[in-house]
Amino acid sequence: RPGRDIASMLEQDAYPQVDIFICRYSEPVEVLEATVVAALNIDYPGTKLCVHILDDGNSPEVKSMQRRLVYQMKYMGRQANLKYVARPKVSGVPHHAKAGNINHCLMTESSHVTEYILVLDCDMIIHPTFLRRTLGHFLRARPDGEWEHKDFAALLQTPQDFWNVDKDDPMVHCARFFYGPMLMGRDGAGATPCCGTGVI
């Protein structure tokens, strides 16, 4: 589907509150930091945005990076919140991998005023206009011309694209058939799946 710019539908003070969950297992901090910085610099009001680093590895280096970025944001005038979340793990108890990581944050850290949650892998650098171009798909026009939330829109799955793929890679590592014809067909049937990243 083409983008639907929420800026043409709502005033900024009516934008929905969004949490961004960035899921990390054991990937290098350098990879994670680029994703976090991109999420913090998204073209969306900072007062309506909270970025959560879901660190399944409970890494001191990641916690230190989060503190450093919070400090930098303060002096750069950034208004978004940046939280570090490390879930407790009990030996011998199933942790349910990424799903358990997300569920822990939903139950313990996500704000009660949050209307939408964007889930990203730790190496998914999002485009600055991502939220503005996607959130409009959750809205519909009322007869009076105002916009309201749809009753039956559960999730929006976006395709993945890559800028750092070797030019000799014949498949471009983008799963074009899956994210193209297959998801378009499932979208038409109202049955788009959640792929675990790039999903609102």
- Give the pLDDT of residue 177: 81
Higher-confidence residue: 145 or 174?
145
Lowest mean pLDDT across 3-17, 84-98, 119-133, 174-188: 174-188
What value does the mean pLDDT take over residues 124-129? Answer: 93
Lowest mean pLDDT across 82-86, 145-149, 167-171: 167-171
C-alpha to C-alpha distance for 10 and 146, rounded to whole angstroms: 9
* Residues whose CB is less than 8 angstroms from the CB of residue 59 and which lie 6 or more positions away in sequence, other chains included: 29
- Give the pLDDT of residue 102: 93
Higher-confidence residue: 35 or 152?
35
- Give the pLDDT of residue 72: 92
Question: Mean pLDDT for the chain?
Answer: 90
C-alpha to C-alpha distance for 122 and 24, rounded to whole angstroms: 5
- What is the pTM for the complete model shown? 0.91
Lowest mean pLDDT across 48-57, 117-126, 128-137, 158-167: 158-167
- Give the pLDDT of residue 77: 83
Per DSSP, the three-state class of 119 is strand
* Residues whose CB is less than 8 angstroms from the CB of residue 68 and which lie 6 or more positions away in sequence, other chains included: none
- Give the pLDDT of residue 2: 83
With 90 as the cut, is the pLDDT of residue 85 above it? yes
